[in-house]
Structure 1
């Protein structure tokens, strides 16, 4: 009888433990960390970075003033920051969007982002990665590295508004690397330098003239 009651008590406790293990982690000041292999809910801070270890599973990772770093094989629902960059390791998966305002975005090898990757003042760099919802920026360079794949096209907007801090007149450089594929329209609403590998595949281009290059990267 005692053993039976113990089994019932353990069964009732397990969901509570699972909920606690997958609970939200929320701070105002300071870095938030999720250890390798840990499961968590939404992970957020206001003034600080978000660091997620390899093989962890989380919901949304977000901060206002700080960077977001996701390790290899991490699974996340979405990633968002305002003043900071986003770095995602290899073989990671983001089910939604990855966005920042003032900072760059780097995606590692074989990483998959199902939604859009966007920034206003920052570069976007894909290293043999996949993005399903397109790329968007106003003042940043874009590198779709070798063997990367993008669906949803590329949009480079005309600068304007409070968050466009680019004071120089240098046009963004957009590079589509060897064997990369960009499906959808490449829509440039400001002057850009568009360089496309002779082995890449791209969709229709609006607002720019592609310049072909051979080899691993452009010479200029």
Structure 2
């Protein structure tokens, strides 16, 4: 479940501020401050609590984690996983990841040519893929989702019913499956959404929503 995974992520990241782990020589760990991995560099785990993380073009890290800060990665960058709690994740073209991308309060955007394994997850943040291959699923509670042109998602899309502190969304999320996009797994909606599926797109079974077909470059204006 999305919130179970994100709770575990939050607990693990906050632990950075209270204890110092034994780090490998190529690991980078801070409590306060941003971290930059320069273009072409290779690092292990890159972790901070209060600060952003920037991964340059064609750089590689084992993982990048922060609590209060955004994560960005340049064109051709590589990582096992990217995780933040309060911040966005934005990666450039031809980015590859062998595990998931996770945030609680912030959006996720993957540019053209992305190749990802694992799930892409938010609670309160939009998710956007452009010409991206995602060997996993998309999960969120309140965020908009765009499976953009030429993207392929193998694990479906799931919206978890908002409860407790997650009920403040003022409008129904918008879900778009764009031109020539493909979602192999089921699209499961435990809450009300507006679902738009391009006439050239392909999806698995839809549960909890009614798809609205469109044929232009973008869905009808709301």
**Contact preservation (8 Å) 2:35, 2:48:** yes
Unaligned runs of 5+ in 1: 1-18
TM-score, structure 2 length as denominator?
0.87
Q: Distance in 2 between matches of 1:131 and 1:160?
A: 28
Aligned to 2:160: 157
Post-superposition offset of 1:168: 3.9
- For 1:43-122, list aligned pairs within 5 A: 43-122=46-125
Match of 2:183 in 1: 182
1:57 deviation in Å?
1.1
- For each residue in 1:83-131, what CA deviation from the matched residue of structure 2 results, as whole angstroms up to 9, or x when unmatched? 0000011001000010000000000101111110000000000011111
TM-score, scaled to structure 1? 0.88
Counterpart of 1:219 in structure 2 is 220
In 1, Cα distance between equivalents of 2:193 and 2:97: 29
CA contact 2:142–2:169 (8 Å) conserved in 1: no
Q: Which structure 1 residue ranges, 4+ long, deviate > 4 Å from structure 2?
A: none
Q: Secondary structure at the match of 2:50?
A: coil
Q: 1:63 and 1:186, CA in 2 relative to 1: closer, same or farther beyond 3 A?
A: same
**SS, match of residue 86 in structure 2:** coil
Q: RMSD between aligned alpha carbons?
A: 1.1
- Relative to its length, the structure with more strand (as a share) is 2
Aligned to 2:85, what secondary structure does the other structure show? Answer: coil
